[in-house]
Chains A and B, each alone.
Chain A
Amino acid sequence: MITINIEKKLKAYSGQQWLKVNREFATGSIIKIYGPSGAGKTTFLKIIAGLVSTEKGSINVDDVTWLDTSTKTTLSPQKRMTGFVFQNYALFPNMTVREHLEYATKDAKWIDRLLTIGKLETLTTHKPEHLSGGQQQRLAILRALAIKPKLLLMDEPFSALDHEMKMVLINELKVLFQKLGLTVLIVTHNPQELDGLCNGELEIDTV
């Protein structure tokens, strides 16, 4: 069970806004997160991952406190080990496809399996600059999965994929998420595209 109750002040052109979320997510659930631009969807994911701080709130994951501002408790991103798929991929330009996964895990069999899932097994020696947008996005997803996280956070992960590849990847990931028992939060600007994958939703809007 993941319990999130946070309040974060956001800077906006229209003045001060608050991001307020108070929700529980069952372990293994796959949640799509949507809302208007600037509502704080990416910030919400980064707060969960420990990459952005918040004024007030608490996050508990399977009875472990990741954040509690009342007791000034906060786990570092390194200890939370959330799988995070960034909107801009955040791939390392100096590393090949295989080196990305080797940087995340030493498990060679798991790396081979991930490469097969992402259909990148023939591109293991390629660096990100030599991959297409879709291949880069798949690598970003595989890298996040490489650490076998309990919680996977995805920031618009399918936006650069064509429809066919998107459907193939979504079906593959659905099976994989269930097998790994992963809880997944996916930010999307197109909630309909995730209808077959997600079993819950969260609308984020500022206050």
Chain B
Amino acid sequence: MDLTPIWLTLKLASITTLLLLLICLPLAWWLSKGRSFFKIIIEAIITMPLVLPPSVLGFYLLLAFSPQHGVGKWLHDSFDIQFVFSFQGLVLASVIYSMPFMIGPIKSALQQLPASLSQASYTLGKSERETFLRVLLPNIKPSLFTAMVLTFAHTLGEFGVVLMIGGNIPNVTRVASIAVYDSVENMDYSAANTYSLILFCITFVMVIGVFIFNKTQAKSPLE
């Protein structure tokens, strides 16, 4: 039984979650402060992966980062970076595909905090950055945790987008969801069942963890 797809999936989900946390904290904070047409456009772009078929997103990423054209060719020629059929490509696709799951709960939690919390901090002479780090962020911990778990779990389950940009290369891009599909294709139901059961258990434990962590807030992970 080859467990590499499981480890590859966990590695992909961990890196994606970490990267999205770094990207989405400042982005969600910026989006939560007021509204403008430009922000609506940015929010719409971030939300697109929620409504777009994963294969469509994967197809466009495949075209954009193909080493034969445009950006992909430039990255390949200038920096020897190739996103198509590589682990980096999976990370890039996962970051784009899972972004709404990280940014949504964080932005929503920041918007629900009373404006007077920031205002009180400003009158104490604290900068916007210090206010964010010491007042706002510590008070949205449950939502932050929910966002991280949702992102991680969602990345575990990615299929269409990672198949399009990464293919099915053993030890490189063959993550668990693709291994399940591949095993079924080869009539190896036992292997498909093992991969599926492991994914099911991991995600179930994570969702249970969110409920326990947020029990005082009485929120479900989808709130």
Q: Does B139 contact A (CB under 8 A)?
A: yes
A49–B123 CA distance with the chains assembled, in angstroms: 7
Q: Does B124 contact A (CB under 8 A)?
A: yes
Q: Does A104 contact B (CB under 8 A)?
A: yes
Count of B residues near A, CB < 8 Å?
Answer: 16
A35–B120 CA distance with the chains assembled, in angstroms: 24
Segment from A87-95, A117-125, A161-169, A188-196 that makes contact with B:
A87-95
Contact between chains at A92 and B126 (CB < 8 Å): no
Which A150-204 residues sit within 8 Å CB-CB of chain B?
A: none
Segment from B22-30, B78-86, B111-119, B168-176 that makes contact with A:
B111-119
Contact between chains at B122 and A92 (CB < 8 Å): no
Residue of A nearest to B126 (CB): A78
A78–B121 CA distance with the chains assembled, in angstroms: 9
Q: Does B127 contact A (CB under 8 A)?
A: yes
Q: Does B125 contact A (CB under 8 A)?
A: yes
Contact between chains at A84 and B123 (CB < 8 Å): yes
Residue of B nearest to A76 (CB): B122
A46–B115 CA distance with the chains assembled, in angstroms: 12
A46–B122 CA distance with the chains assembled, in angstroms: 12
Q: How far is the CB of B114 from chain A (nearest CB, A)?
A: 7
Q: Does B34 contact A (CB under 8 A)?
A: no
* Chain B residues near A81 (CB-CB < 8 A): 123-125
Q: Does A82 contact B (CB under 8 A)?
A: yes
Closest A-B pairs by Cβ, 10 of them:
A90-B116, A94-B138, A90-B120, A77-B122, A84-B123, A104-B124, A86-B116, A51-B119, A78-B125, A81-B125
Q: Does B19 contact A (CB under 8 A)?
A: no
Contact between chains at B134 and A103 (CB < 8 Å): yes
Contact between chains at B139 and A83 (CB < 8 Å): no
Q: Does B202 contact A (CB under 8 A)?
A: no
Contact flag A86-B119 (CB < 8 Å), given A81-B125, A103-B124: yes
The contact of B123 among A83, A91, A93, by CB within 8 Å, is A83
Q: Does B45 contact A (CB under 8 A)?
A: no
A80–B139 CA distance with the chains assembled, in angstroms: 26
1/0 per residue, CB under 8 A from B, across A46-78: the answer is: 100111000000000000000000000000111
A184–B139 CA distance with the chains assembled, in angstroms: 31
* Chain A residues near B120 (CB-CB < 8 A): 84, 86, 90-92, 143
Contact flag A93-B114 (CB < 8 Å), given A51-B123, A103-B134: no
* Chain B residues near A86 (CB-CB < 8 A): 116, 119-120
A90–B122 CA distance with the chains assembled, in angstroms: 12
| Most chain A beta-carbon contacts within 10 A, residue among B114, B116, B123, B138 | B123
Contact flag A77-B123 (CB < 8 Å), given A88-B114, A92-B117: yes
Q: How far is the CB of B110 from chain A (nearest CB, A)?
A: 14
A93–B121 CA distance with the chains assembled, in angstroms: 13
Q: Does A21 contact B (CB under 8 A)?
A: no
* Chain A residues near B198 (CB-CB < 8 A): none
Residue of A nearest to B120 (CB): A90
Q: Does A147 contact B (CB under 8 A)?
A: yes
Q: How far is the CB of B95 from chain A (nearest CB, A)?
A: 29
Contact between chains at A94 and B119 (CB < 8 Å): no
A92–B135 CA distance with the chains assembled, in angstroms: 7
* Chain A residues near B123 (CB-CB < 8 A): 49, 51, 77-78, 80-84, 144, 147
Q: How far is the CB of A173 from chain B (nearest CB, A)?
A: 18
